[in-house]
Structure 1
Amino acid sequence: MYPLARPLLFGLDAERAHGLTLQALDWAHARAPSLLPSTPAPLPTRAFGLEFPNPVGLAAGLDKDGAHIDALLALGFGFIEIGTVTPRPQPGNPAPRLFRLPRHRAVINRMGFNNGGVDVLVRNVERARRSGPGLLGINIGKNKDTPNAIAAGDYMYGLSRVYGLADYVTINISSPNTAGLRELQEEQQLRQLVGTLREEQERLGAKHGRRVPMLVKIAPDLSERDIEACARVLGELQVDGVIATNTTTSREGVEGDRLADQAGGLSGAPLLARSTTVLRMMRTRLPESIPLVGVGGILSGADAVAKFAAGATLVQCYSGLVYRGPGLVGECVEAIRRRRFAPSRGSLPPDA
């Protein structure tokens, strides 16, 4: 159905189309599930001590309040990540704040962590049926008006509120749309913040009787020196995983587009090369015990395979869904399956 719907959606403001798409998914899931794509055959993948039904996930940002969990899981994702959610509600940045660049298969957003606050998300997660095998990640951030000096308090509160509901939790310190947030990736601030959250994670694990993995999401705009420092800190603190990467402030690959000067983070096809480079660099610098999630620029099964070749254990997509629709999920799963079970070089053909 998506090839028929896309021209209509692209005729609307991008944020309005986003909302209508989620409403349509909810309707189809509840009343006409045959309209949804068929679920990919299982491709079990283990990471962070969790068993994922397949390694293709939905990146954070599509469903900030967790209001569409069941419909999104019905699209065949092995896992979905909701949020980013903040302790208190906030409206985000003024509209318009979401822009498509069709010629480049790209998106620019400056949403600014618009969400109803963590209490709303918790209620939505508690109401979700979650009848399928897909796992749930929850992405947490700080409120816009919380100074970095006390940002740990926002993250600790968010972690404590969602801990009992999530299969894993992601710490978002890499969005370009909250002023000063990326400064938390600086080595000393990162060590202090993540160290504090690791202690809270262990305390919550003892309280709840189960350990929920904690991941950190990084930016694609880090220098090589910053990547080395980041990997050193995250490795020493033994985080459970790293998501590489968030959106970029660079406009490489979209030069000359009439929307290229819009403020915000760029995602989609132009991000693929840079995000995959950062992924590869992190893989060579982190301990093998810390899995990586590759995200950024996946618009085909081949793009997903490129992330695995660079060292990913799981992948996520978001902007690719805007241009390809939910059929992208199954395409990526099947491409990864072919790569996983491809005969090794030099082996005999099956009928030899």
Structure 2
Amino acid sequence: MYNLLRRLLFCFPTETVHHFSMNMMKLGCSVGAIRKSIATQFAPSNGALSRELFGLQFKNPVGLAAGFDKNALYLTELEALGFGFVEIGTVTPKPQAGNEKPRLFRLPKDKALINRMGFNNDGVNVVAQRLKEWREKQLATGNRQLASRNEGIPNSNRPAQTEDTHSPLTIDHSRLIIGGNIGKNKVTPNEDAWKDYEICFRALFDCVDYFVVNVSSPNTPGLRELQEKDSLRKILSHLQTINQQESGTETDRKPKPILLKIAPDLTPQQIDDVIDLALEIKLDGLVATNTTISREQLHTTDAELQAIGAGGLSGAPVRLRSTEIVKYIHQKTNGQIPVIASGGIFTAEDAKEKLAAGASLVQVWTGFVYEGPAIVKNICSGLSTNRP
């Protein structure tokens, strides 16, 4: 069914279709019966795939990578589709429009996308408020479900109510884990980049479950220079300091897991530098990998690629390189640094490949576009038959 729908959708501009599809999904999910029907059809039901990482309980290991829901607009809809976690962003301190359109392109011959979005987002304050409202709504829904379930049960036997806004109570499934992917504004010089990451970190601290520092997008000029060891140390060590300050026994706030997202284009020496730094400042994990600037071994013609122009390539062509990096990190650290694998995941076999290489969780993005709304259920079904 989705193959037919995809053929129709692919007749229209990529970014336009993305927003149209998700807004239609949002409209449908605004009706409780439709939302429940979508969840019944697409959400995995196997609780055996639940796993704990970073002190968080993920209902399944399949997440949605940053860039799909930049502004935290579609969390309810993505939860209905069964995602175990969703990474919002990349979010920057100030709103920015991103690069000129068109800036998102399909490469159907390669099952790939090229994007040069440029961190377009509503700004951290707007996104933080949106996340707070979503959390409150989730908590209220969970408590209503609990009240309904408790009808007729003596008070002494009732489960306790929860006041933790980070753990909305639900009856049928565990909650959706939210990651916050943070970056710098385009106009911020690299020497001041640490300030942008601090602003985003503080603003989102009470709104997300974990953070991902994005210095690996190819679509913000000079951003990838921040992957050099000294630049990274300045940003990440500063965030770790704030992490301890924001938490404390007086408020019962715990430090948030901090991860770093790296590019697939790093050299072995650069990856070693990232590993050394991650161990030195006690990063909680790495996300491997972002999009690539490589255009090697594509079926799309050179003329088509030149017409598209610059941008990060994602999808099937990145699969092997992403897996290589996941495996390298896992072996180099003896599994000391958890890795969320991202890059070329379309099927359960792709996910198994990443998990076998040492990944703890996986993320999809381009695969979601090509495989459709059943991707999480299909991957989880495949993992259930032969769990890594």
TM-score bin (small chain): over 0.9
Matches within 5 A, 1:1-352: 2-31=2-31, 32-33=34-35, 34-35=37-38, 37-40=41-44, 41-42=46-47, 43-128=49-134, 129-130=137-138, 133-206=175-248, 209-254=253-298, 256-257=300-301, 258-261=303-306, 262-286=309-333, 288-340=335-387
State the distance in 2 between where 1:287 and 1:238 align. 15
Alpha-carbon shift at residue 277 of structure 1 (Å):
0.8
Cα distance 1:309–1:284, how it changes in 2: closer, same or farther (>3 A)?
same
State the distance in 1 between where 2:333 and 2:182 align. 23
State the distance in 1 between where 2:87 and 2:219 align. 19
1:166 partner SS = coil
AA partner of residue 259 (structure 1): E
Q: CA offsets, 1:314-339, max 9 Å, x none?
A: 00000001110021111211222333
State the distance in 1 between where 2:57 and 2:311 align. 35
State the distance in 2 between where 1:295 and 1:155 align. 22
Select the structure of larger CA radius of gyration. 2
| Larger helix fraction of residues | 2
AA partner of residue 319 (structure 2): L
1:260 partner SS = helix
Q: Percent identity?
A: 43
Q: CA offsets, 1:130-180, max 9 Å, x none?
A: 455221111110000101101000000100000111111111111010011
User: Does the 8 Å CA contact 1:69/1:125 hold for their aligned counterparts?
Assistant: no
Alpha-carbon shift at residue 8 of structure 1 (Å):
2.0
Alpha-carbon shift at residue 255 of structure 1 (Å):
5.2
Alpha-carbon shift at residue 189 of structure 1 (Å):
1.1
User: Does the 8 Å CA contact 1:201/1:212 hold for their aligned counterparts?
Assistant: yes
**Any unmatched runs of 5+ in structure 2?**
139-169
Alpha-carbon shift at residue 38 of structure 1 (Å):
2.9
State the distance in 2 between where 1:214 and 1:88 align. 21
Alpha-carbon shift at residue 285 of structure 1 (Å):
2.3
Q: CA offsets, 1:225-257, max 9 Å, x none?
A: 111111111111110111000000001232543
- 1:344 alignment counterpart: none
State the distance in 1 between where 2:42 and 2:347 align. 17
- 1:349 alignment counterpart: none
**Any unmatched runs of 5+ in structure 1?**
342-352
State the distance in 2 between where 1:316 and 1:256 align. 25
TM-score of the pair, normalised by structure 2: 0.85
AA partner of residue 108 (structure 1): I
1:46 partner SS = strand
Spell out structure 1 runs of 4+ moving beyond 6 A. none
2:304 partner SS = coil
2:194 partner SS = helix
2:212 partner SS = strand
Cα distance 1:50–1:299, how it changes in 2: closer, same or farther (>3 A)?
same
AA partner of residue 153 (structure 1): K
Alpha-carbon shift at residue 211 of structure 1 (Å):
2.0
C-alpha root-mean-square deviation of aligned residues, in Å? 1.5
Alpha-carbon shift at residue 208 of structure 1 (Å):
5.8
User: Does the 8 Å CA contact 1:220/1:278 hold for their aligned counterparts?
Assistant: yes
Matched length: 341
State the distance in 1 between where 2:178 and 2:334 align. 25
TM-score of the pair, normalised by structure 1: 0.93
